[in-house]
Amino acid sequence: MKAILPQARLKARSPELGLRATSFAFILVMVVIPMAVILQDGFKEGAAEFWRQVTLPVAAHAIILTLWTSALMTVINAVMGLLTAFVLVRYAFPGKAILNAIVDLPLAIPTLVTGVMLVILYGPQQALGLFLNQELGFQVIFAPPGIVLALLFITFPFVVRTIQPVLLDLDQQQEHAAATLGARRWTIFRRIIFPALALPTFSGSLLSFARAVGEFGAVVIVAGNIPFKSQTAAVYVLGAVESENRLAASAISIILIAISLAVILFTNYLLGRRRGPV
């Protein structure tokens, strides 16, 4: 669509400077300024102090816990999301429409409610929680598995919904050709289907990772929040905010923002390579 009459293009541009200015102002006020404020606050006492706050054992542990639970969740989400998308697109079975609708549910449920639900279901007072705890020695709530579970719930739609449209648009000719040439189903999947889905799976997973790193509402209910054991970075920041530890709050917040930003930029870059400039 680049072959537009030059006159029309020029005409389109000048009045729209107002639009551009508006959108710039909007994003500036809403995103850039608050970020600048927090950056300034975190480095107020110098880069050395900033780094010290980040490498404090309790903070470092919180960050690491956040990262590995999010990463584990992302891997599980990638696999199950891909599977779910595949099943929804390629197969017909009773209850398919309901399944499709359920996939979107986590998006509509407030994170606080997610945390509450998980405690109700897996908490130690319930039969299920008691069984897991005593029989299997496996603690779900108030331990990292609970965190992973909460994150899985919240980010479930992301991978599925990123893969679905791509899968729907996939030209099945190649698969048919491969089948006629004698390829088995698994080979077809591995060699033809999956490579086409690799990118959306990856970008959907990265999106869910970025989302998970900052998650608070569900985690604070479900995690236990014990420093050095089950306290994530977001919860640590809350503690720092509420105990007047501004430097810690700002420093860790900046780290969280940096991680999310890095992941988002990378994802956009990947998608950009595929689709061309937005």
Partner 1 sequence: MTTQRIVLPRKGYRGWGPRLLILAVFLYVGVLVLAPITALVNDALQKGLPAFQTALNTPQFWQSFALSLEIALGVVAIQAILGSITAWVIVRHSFPGKSIFNAVIDIPFAISPVVVGYMLLLAFGRNGFLNPLLAVFDFQVAFALPGIFLATLFVSLPFMIREMIPVIQNLDRAQELAASTLGAGRWTTFWRVIFPGLRTALLYGVALTMARAMGEFGAVLVIGGGVQGRTATTTMYIFHALEERQYVEAYTAAIVLGIGSVLIVSLADLIRHRTQH
Partner 2 sequence: MNKRFAALALIALSLALAACGQSQPDDSDSTGGTSADEVNLVLAAYTTPREAFAEIIPLFQASWLAETGQTVTFEESYQGSGAQSRAVVEGFEADIVALSLEADVIRIQEAGLLTHDWKAVGADGIMSTSIVAFAVRAGNPLGIADWDDLAAEGVEVLTPNPATSGGAMWNVLALYGAALRGHVDGVPEGDPQAAFEFLKAVLGNVLVMDDSARDSITNYEQGIGAVAITYENEVLVGQQAGTDYELVIPTSTILIQNPVAVVDAYVDEHGTREAAEAFVEFLFTPAAQEVFSRFGLRSIDPQVAAATADQYPPVADLFTIDFFGGWPQARENIFGESGVFNRAIQEVQGQ
185-224 residues near partner 1, rule: CB under 8 A = 185, 188, 210-211, 213-217, 220
How many residues sit close enough to partner 2 to count as binding (CB under 8 A)?
Answer: 26
Binding site partner of 103, from partner 1, partner 2, none, Cβ cut-off 5-8 A by kind: partner 1
Q: With CA atoms as reference, report the closest residue to 231 among 259, 222, 54, 50.
A: 222
| Residues from 59 through 78 that contact partner 2 (CB under 8 A) | 61
Binding site partner of 41, from partner 2, partner 1, none, Cβ cut-off 5-8 A by kind: partner 1
| Residues from 95 through 124 that contact partner 2 (CB under 8 A) | 119, 123-124
Among 6, 18, 46, 57, interactor with partner 2 by CB under 8 A: 57
From the CB of 24, what's the least distance to partner 2, in Å?
29
- Looking at the Cβ atoms of 57 and 277, the one nearer to partner 1 is 277
Binding site for partner 2 (CB under 8 A): 57-58, 61, 119, 123-126, 141-142, 220, 224-229, 231, 238-245
